[in-house]
Amino acid sequence: MYFLINYQPYIAIIGDIKGSKAIKNRKEVQENLAMVLNEINDHYSDDIASRFMITLGDEFQGLLLNGTSVMKIISRIEGRLDPVKLRFGIGVGEITTKINPYMAIGADGPGYHKARAAIEYLKENEKRKQSSVSDIRLEVEGENQEPQMFINTIFGLMAALKASWTKRQREIIQDMLEHRDNQTETAKRLNIKQPTVSKVLVTGNYYAYEEAFDTVEKALGEIG
């Protein structure tokens, strides 16, 4: 048991596009973001308390009933918007106001406060260290901070692996993570040969990344 929670938890996710004002095709990026958020709202509707939506042009958010699909949702957004860089704040806590299931705005409570704190931490950390140490952070309401520290350490290691990937590696690894079938099917979808997929998975440290991904997914899946 990773989390000991004595309240009704929700999981708020706040996403942010890095350096959005400097992106030349900003309108196209925002359109792609809106499209993938609609996909997520439809595909993960059973897990969603309040639908994902763009809130500030370069920022978006949504509210989940449980943690089962957090990693899949983040991975899909990253894959669809690549090579645009993103950061994600995940907040676990209560929601103290009425929730609008169709719009992830207007609601309030520790869940959103924690997600906002996570995003701000990532931004400040990037300024201090002049680099992106991690692009995902978890903040949990409550006194037991050990699970949070454990997961954030994994997020940091995952970010280091992602930073080393080429565009081709990202494309193949994202496909493997999303579909979870086999190398042959990934090769068919991407119109490449299976040995190419195999080589990329090894050089990109896919199996280490997959294990970290699954560990976090299992831990967050206990929430809700």
Mean pLDDT (whole number) for 124-144: 82
Q: How many CB atoms lie within 10 A of CB 58?
A: 20
Give one DSSP letter per residue of 127-173, joined into a string.
HHHTS-S-SEEEEESSS--HHHHHHHHHHHHHHHHHHT--HHHHHHH
Give CA 217 to chain center in angstroms. Answer: 11
Give the integer Cα–Cα distance in Å for 212 and 77.
18
Q: For residue range 35-62, what is the model confidence (pLDDT) as tens digits? A: 999 999 999 999 999 999 999 878 999 9
3-class state of residue 31 by DSSP: helix
In angstroms, the Cα distances linking 155 to 91, 98, 111, 150, 214 are 14, 31, 19, 9, 12
Q: What is the pLDDT of residue 85?
A: 93
Of the candidates 176, 117, 169, 177, the one whose C-alpha atom is nearest the C-alpha of residue 141 is 117
The pTM assigned to this predicted structure is: 0.93
Tokens in use for 55? 């809130």
Q: Distance between the two ends of the chain, CA-based, in angstroms? A: 13
164-207 pLDDT, tens digit per residue, is: 999 999 999 999 999 998 999 999 999 999 999 999 999 999 99
